[in-house]
Amino acid sequence: MTDMKQFLTGLPKVELHLHIEGSLEPELMFEIGKRNGLDLPFDSVEAVRAAYNFHNLQEFLDIYYQGAQVLLKEQDFYDMTMAYLKRCQAQHVRHTELFFDPQTHTDRGIEIGVVFQGITRALKDAQAQWGISSQLILCFLRHLSAEAAMDTLEAALPYREHFIGVGLDSSEVGHPPEKFKAVFERALTEGLLTVAHAGEEGPPDYIWQALDLLKVSRIDHGVRCAEDDLLVKRLVDTNMPLTVCPLSNIRLCVFREMGDHNILSLLERGVRVTVNSDDPAYFGGYMNENFLALLEGLQLSAQQAVTLVRNGIDASFISDARRQALHAELDAYVKGVDLSSLN
Ligand code: HPA
Ligand code: ZN
């Protein structure tokens, strides 16, 4: 078991579902709030953590948007992003694709360029210092209007070289993918890739819509696909990746406990599932904690762990050369290890 834990934590990993605002730890939230002269509605770091007791997605989102309010300056976005990338370095995450929510900031009067500059400067530094590659994905807040999403895309286009795709996050139920068909069409004509949160709390029909109307390259979460056999067949037949976030799903009560999670049964049915941390500062862990939780709750095998990582590499928005390099790094790590002996 100890060997297995070591094996999991040392695996060279990729992360494909990470909201950078969800990586803001309470300590850094306080530090940034203080230097910006802001009063937080909490007395201490402990009080912030104690408030992280969610029963559904909306309860989390309310506190997550509140936490992001400390971010005002370019340096704030840089520090938040760099703190996450340091965790990546410590946890052997070799490639990461980060979501950011520009509307959370522009609606508070912050220039979108400030957000882009702070995040991308950190991404560049992490590439130079640690060889961590990355991509940015701009997410639209689905509880806001389709017009606001279109305005956000327009405002972001001067920074087109800094992001690879667009996504859809925030309150899912009542805000189906079809609401954003026009803005996703526009993004596709700009050569952007598309992804969408679907089937986290929302029904399988939202996953169908994301596939057919938004032409997504990946589904974020997607765990409710299991309620629709035809949909599972579509996902398997098209090799469509799901960016699954185990600890998030437990903390937001999508599943009651890790033993009930369907990630490994989807894997065994041939769905290209991957492991990700979503909002690690809020959900109790980064990539390694997610893998360890799968070991603990679902008796994840070493072979399954390697397949999950390979799925992530295959589902990444990267060049063929980088994909080959990541596979080679994983091959080198696994070489000589008797995977069955770890189980
Ligand atoms: N779902 C929807 N919106 C989000 C999430 C999530 O898991 N995390 C941050 N915004
Ligand atoms: Zn998410």
pLDDT in tens, 211-264: 999 999 999 999 999 999 999 999 999 999 999 999 999 999 999 999 999 999
In a domain, 225, yes or no: yes
Whether 52 is covered by a domain: the verdict is: no
> What mean pLDDT do residues 283-304 have?
98
Range of the domain at 301: 4-23+75-335
Catalytic residues: 200
Which pLDDT score, from 0 to 100, does residue 1 have? 62
| Percent of residues, the chain, with pLDDT higher than 90 | 98
Closest by CA to 216, choosing from 254, 178, 171, 252, is: 178
Q: Whose CA is nearest to atom 3 of ligand 1?
A: 170
pLDDT at 274 over 80: yes
What's the half-sphere exposure (Cβ side, CA atoms, 13 Å) at 53? 5
Calpha distance 229→225 (Å, rounded):
8
CATH of the domain at 19: 3.20.20.140
Query: In this predicted model, what pLDDT tens digit does every residue of 131-171 receive, in sequence order?
Result: 999 999 999 999 999 999 999 999 999 999 999 999 999 99
For range 60-66, the mean pLDDT:
95
Ligand at minimal distance from the CA of 23 is 1
> Quick check: is 209 in a domain?
yes
pLDDT of amino acid 343: 78
Atom number, ligand 1, closest to the C-alpha of residue 64: 9
Q: Is the CB of 279 under 6 A from ligand 1?
A: yes
60 found inside a domain: no
298 assigned to some structural domain: yes
Q: Which atom of ligand 1 is nearest to the CA of 21?
A: 9
| 105 found inside a domain | yes
pLDDT over 70 at 72, yes or no: yes
The lowest-confidence range among 15-19, 20-24, 43-47, 152-156 is 43-47
* Sequence-separated (6 or more) residues with CB below 8 Å from residue 103: 140, 141, 144, 148, 152
Residue 68 belongs to some domain of the structure: no
Total number of domains in the chain: 1
Site to substitute for ligand 1 among 17, 19, 220, most atoms within 8 A of C-beta? 19
Is residue 231 in some structural domain? yes
Pocket test for ligand 1, best of 169, 219, 220 (most atoms within 8 A of CB): 169
* Reported confidence tier of residue 284, pLDDT bands at 50, 70, 90: very high
- The sign of the dihedral angle between the CA atoms of 110, 23, 55, 208 is positive
For atom 7 of ligand 1, the residue with the nearest CA is 278
pLDDT of 292 strictly over 70: yes
